Structure 1
Amino acid sequence: MPMTEHVSSPETEYNQAPAERFRRGMLLLQHIGGPDFDGPINRLSRLSKDMARFTVEYPYGDVLSRPGLDLRLRQICTISALLAQASLQPQLKFHMEGLLNVGGTPDDLVELLFLSTAMLGFPIAIDSIGIVRDIFTERGLAFAPKEPDDGDGTDRYRRGLGTFRDLMGMDPSAFSAAFASISPELAQWSLEFVFGDVMARHGLTNEDKHLAIISMLGATGNRSELMRLHLRAAVAGGVTLPTLAEAIMQLSVYAGFPAALNGFALLGAVVEDPPDQHPTTADLHPTPVAEDTGSESRRLRRNRGLTALAATSSASGEAVVHSFDDVAPEIGGLIVEFCYGDIFHRSGIDAKTRELTACAALAARGAATDVTPLRVHIRAAIKAGARKDEIVETLLNMLPYSGYPAIRQAMILAAEEFAAIQP
């Protein structure tokens, strides 16, 4: 039954406003949702007509229908917020398809996955690549990945520095001042990986990147310092305050009013900053974060990463890397070169401890996107010499911090992995 049949005709001025909101929302939902646009709403209506009506009236009738952002940018913001929450795959697929329906491109979807690796972590991209692949297959899209950078990788630091100055409009030493002394590696990787590998890509405009990143950080929560820096950079880069306000307002739909209100508080702080707190590229201090002696070559990092991958995750890790081959092989390359070649090979902690910390982190988050990586790292922990009881104790130790539901789920996965490796 069409959803419009569930709404009574308005007879008073009081009822006319909700009816108009619903009508406007349904028209926009049809544009975004495509042929089956009202399927989810009709299914929801069988359980709660009021919830179905709310879902149309506020998100689509009140917020997404506003003129301050075009629909492509609105869908980029929506997808970014949903990626950040890591467990909303049906809604993520709906809005990824919606981006294509309103004029977005397959490249837009792939580039958002690249952004997610830097802002949200690789498990988000690992899980979401399957959704993107399904969408391309269902639509018969013959997507060809971009040709990878054919450089040797030794310019990553310089490229990152240039991208940072272009996108952020501030002195990079100020960006990393709070942690550079305790971890110069993190300061270096911030430029090499975040800005040199990810942000330097050309598939999205600077405005696209700013709005996507702000939506990711706002939906994640507890990223106030970094979100304020990105809001300030967006303003310095020419993104208008009304545009930023619309993107933050949209967080109320997909991440809740607290996230939106926090975002507006940060935007207000940026607006109230004195002018000298908004440096432009011309004001930048010429000294980089660290002396530029050239980045390590891609070949060195890749060989080191492949060695670390073989020694830890082996076949299961290789399967994750190759899962990107047909759509975004460069993300698979980043897993090898950055995750394994820059980080996992390091000797600061032994291999067993490194894998147990990975298991703890993934179990603690408890998101849908972490299921496959948790399985991979449970196997890697066993390969590194961890006993099953040590893995169990690691998971149990997370109970006070993550709660029973997350650790219960992790323990079930661990039991399945233990059973799978029985001789």
Structure 2
Amino acid sequence: MTATSQYSRYSRGLEILRQIGGENFDEPINSLAETSVDLSRFTVEYPYGDVLSRPGLDLPLRQLCTISMLLADGSAQPQLKFHMAGFLNAGGEPKALIELMFISVALLGFPPTVNAIGLIRAVFAERKLAFEPIEPSAGDGSTRRQAGLETLDRLSGGDVQAYFDGFAAGSPDLAQLSIEFAFGEMLARDGLDQKAKLFAIISMLAASGNRAATLRLHLAGALAHGVTREEIIEVLIQLSVYRGFPAALNAFAVAKDIFAAGSATIGANVPPPAVVESRADRLERGRATLAKTSGSSGDAVVRTFDDVAPDLGRMIVEHSYGEVFSRSGIDMKSRELSACAALAAVGSATTEIPLRVHINAALNVGATREEILETLVNLIPYSGYPATQQAVRIAAEEFSKRG
């Protein structure tokens, strides 16, 4: 590579970084250069000079993909906040950031989404941006199954029936919840245009790793609904920047199969639920379940979303507690211990606060400190000593607070 071409990469990258970073765009790379000049240069040349400068996608859409990838990471809060601000600097709409959170709930869960809402608040506050909360959804929730089937048809492709049959055989309820909640509420929203929504979904799934079946479904859906192969390739090249080449190469392998097979949208025949409930029924049951585990503090946490998107708080109660935690298959103590194990196993920055919440909830519903510690120690063979030690430290701190 000639000195001229290297300079061109750097200068091109610096210009993209300026568009994203705004007035103090060079602070991160200058800070990095104090430790490693080469890494600072690489950070400009490859991500910005080679990838984000490519013409295949516009800059706001690229930023939306970047945010989606970093949400899946779960422990990149400074970078996530930087790119949220960068999305606005590149011309993105504030409302789109909030709408992206609903997709995050469906694909990544509540912990990273709740954490990201705090970052959005900080970005808005720093910009002195007045933001009107997104109005709660109208209606009683009785149409969400039909909305879910229609959304599935719009966003998915390939053999949808085979996909759902795969887990419906083991848990018909899981298929039902996926249709009604993930597709019928989260992904059915119209706050993002369809192409942006498809790119966000692909970005989150590809960045999550080991989601090949679901990624395959949505890649086929993207092709069936107007996204080009070239655009998908651009998203996956960008994935190499934010989740590394292994994740990008794995996603490319899935995409290659989809490109070879072509795609056709096929509706899924998921049997209707035996009992059709209203939103009010689910909310009432969710509030009762939440009160058992967290007392009045749980409802207070839910209300903290009222300034941005009240529906997010409502969905935590209605779905997590009204549809999942309230199920009768295992007792409440076992559910809370399972939640502690799952959160500790993920071990990201976004799961620390939820882990603290569920450690206390486990104690509230009758788990002993010894049972919680044994649950966490059981992670050693599967998540390793560092993750287990971190979880035990958090548990010890919560025990200490209770005396």
Taking structure 1 as the reference length, the TM-score comes to 0.93
How far 1:189 sits from its partner (Å)?
0.7
**1:357 aligned residue:** 338
Q: What code does the residue aligned with 1:130 have?
A: G
Question: What is the aligned partner in structure 1 of residue 323 from structure 2?
Answer: 342
User: What residue in structure 1 maps to residue 198 of structure 2?
Assistant: 210
Matches within 5 A, 1:297-336: 297-336=278-317
Report the counterpart of residue 4 of structure 1 in structure 2. Answer: none
Query: Does residue 262 of structure 1 match 2:250?
Result: yes
Q: CA deviation at 1:221?
A: 0.5
The ranges of structure 1 where at least 4 consecutive aligned residues each deviate by more than 6 angstroms after the TM superposition are: none
Contact in 1 for aligned 2:136/2:309 (Cα 8 Å): no
Contact 1:156–1:192, Cα closer than 8 Å, also in 2: yes
- Alignment partner of 1:247 is 2:235: yes
Letter in 1 for 2:354: P
For the Cα contact (< 8 Å) 1:161–1:191, is it kept in 2? yes
Instruction: Determine the C-alpha separation between the residues in 1 that align with 2:276 and 2:91.
Output: 38
Distance 1:294 1:99, change over 3 A: farther
Q: Give the CA RMSD over aligned residues.
A: 1.4
- Give me the whole-angstrom Cα distance separating, in 2, the residues matched to 1:169 and 1:84: 23
1:140 to partner: Cα distance: 1.2
Task: Choose the corresponding residue for 1:374, options 355, 379, 386.
Answer: 355
Residue among 178, 188, 213 paired with 2:176: 188
**Cα distance in structure 2, aligned partners of 1:72 and 1:294:** 43
Aligned twin of 1:409? 390
Within 2, Cα distance between the matches of 1:351 and 1:403? 27
User: Percentage identity across aligned positions?
Assistant: 55
Q: What is the aligned partner in structure 2 of residue 156 from structure 1?
A: 144
Note if contact 2:333-2:366 (Cα within 8 Å) is conserved in structure 1.
Answer: yes
Matched, 1:95 2:80: no
Could you tell me whether the CA contact under 8 Å between 1:30 and 1:37 is conserved in 2? Answer: yes
2:25 is equivalent to residue 37 of structure 1: yes
Question: 1:420 is matched by which residue type in structure 2?
Answer: K
Structure 1 residues 41-100: Cα deviation after superposition (integer angstroms, max 9, x where no partner): 000001000000000000000000000000011001100000001000000000000000
Q: Is the 8 A contact 2:9 2:45 kept in 1?
A: yes
Give 1:141-180 correspondences, 5 Å limit. 141-169=129-157, 172-180=160-168
On the 8 A contact 1:25/1:56 being kept in 2, the answer is yes
Alignment of 1:64-79 (within 5 A): 64-79=52-67
Distance 1:122 1:63 in 2: 30
> For 2:318, what is the secondary structure of its paired residue?
helix
SS at match of 1:47: coil
- The one-letter code sitting in structure 1 at the alignment partner of 2:277 is E
**SS of equivalent to 2:170:** coil
* Residue identity matched to 2:53: S
Structure 1 residues not aligned, in runs of 5+: 1-12
**What is the alpha-carbon distance in structure 2 between the residues aligned to residue 394 and residue 316 of structure 1?**
24
Maintained 8 Å contact 1:215/1:247:
yes
Could you tell me which residue of structure 2 aligns to residue 398 of structure 1? 379
In structure 2, distance between residues paired with 1:226 and 1:164: 12
Q: Is the 8 A contact 1:159 1:195 kept in 2?
A: yes
Q: Does residue 1:279 correspond to 2:244, yes or no?
A: no
| Deviation at residue 137 of structure 1 after TM alignment | 1.1
Larger Rg: 1
Distance 1:148 1:171, change over 3 A: farther
Partner in structure 1 of residue 39 of structure 2: 51
Contact preservation (8 Å) 1:168, 1:233: yes
Partner of 2:114: 126
Normalised by the size of structure 2, how large is the TM-score?
Answer: 0.97
Describe the SS at the equivalent of 1:176.
helix
Q: Secondary structure at the match of 2:330?
A: coil
Partner of 1:6: none
